[in-house]
Amino acid sequence: MEFKEVNQLPIDVEKAIKKRVSTRSFEARSLTDEDKKKLMDFSKTLTNPFGIDVYVQYISKNTGAKNIQLGTYGTIKGAKDFLAITVKDEHFAMEAVGYQFENLVLYATYMDIGTVWLAATFSRKDFENAMEISSDDLFPCICPVGYPSEKRSIIEKFTRASLGSKNRKSWDKLFYLEDFNQPLSSKEAGKYESALEMLRLAPSATNAQPWAVVKERNNFHFFCNYKNGISEDMRKIKHLDLGIALSHFQQTSMSEGLSGKFEIKNIHFSIPEHMHYVISYISE
């Protein structure tokens, strides 16, 4: 498979990554027409390394979905607008969604628009009634968009506390040198230290951070971490999360003038049972 080149985001990527938080309390108003147009026009320029078409639909309670209930099971307060993401079911579809839509999330952050990935805590039937979707489409997630409320709801405070949103796994739990037996230090990461640190800060479902990276010479091998017995829906979410991490890694690399390409490599070291090889980045 030949992977595609992607454009570098026209923003300060590291600043956006550090600024981005999952917003669950919004002002009870829609985006302005200007902000909506700017966000959706930018969305149309985005691609992903996998060459897969990722579709983003804008749904508003104030327009097309006025008489349709858009359920988020009480997890979101005040949101009037949502982005719904669909993709055809093919290899790397979830990684493509994670990569491409996270780039839009970072751009929204740059615009001071609040976002939060929702992969399970929403009513799919409600949203499907308000959007264009085919029977063979995957509909993995939605994203409320709006202006963050200055006051967080009790549910948001509880959710952030229960998920440990401010906590991230340490380097020695995520990054390895040559194989899975030796942790990678920030010094050994060299010029890719920032890219790996921004990857470490990537959002993921329940803050699970289901990824691992092995640096082998100039190769960075990416793995998805999950038990073999999990459901197919949960497996898809894990691979979507890895796509988000890949976005952070490559976009940070490009912002620092580093170049490389994605490839599928043969892995010659021992892989733990719960680690699933996905892709490699070859630094140039």
DSSP letter at 18? H
Domain 13-163 and domain 171-283 have a common topology = yes
Contact 129, 123 (CB under 8 A): no
Beta strand 211-216 with 175-177 is parallel
Size (the chain), residues: 284
Q: What band does 167 get if pLDDT is binned at 50, 70 and 90?
A: confident
What letter represents residue 84's amino acid? A
According to the model, what pLDDT value does residue 40 have?
98
Class (C level, CATH) for 171-283? alpha beta
pTM for the full predicted model? 0.93
Fold of the domain built from segment(s) 13-163 = NADH Oxidase (3.40.109)
Distances (CA, A) of 65 to 31, 56, 58, 117, 128: 15, 16, 10, 20, 10
Whole-number Å distance between alpha carbons of 282 and 261: 5
Could you report the per-residue pLDDT of 35-79, keeping only the tens digit for each? 999 999 999 999 999 999 999 999 998 876 555 566 565 788 999
pLDDT tens, position by position, 241-265: 999 999 999 999 999 999 999 999 9
Cα–Cα distance measured from residue 19 to residue 14, given in angstroms and rounded to the nearest whole number: 8
Task: Find the distance separating the first CA and the last CA of the chain, reported in whole Å.
Answer: 19
Question: What is the pLDDT at residue 124?
Answer: 82
Domain extents in the chain: 13-163, 171-283
pLDDT tens for residues 130-166? 899 999 999 999 999 999 998 765 554 545 445 554 6
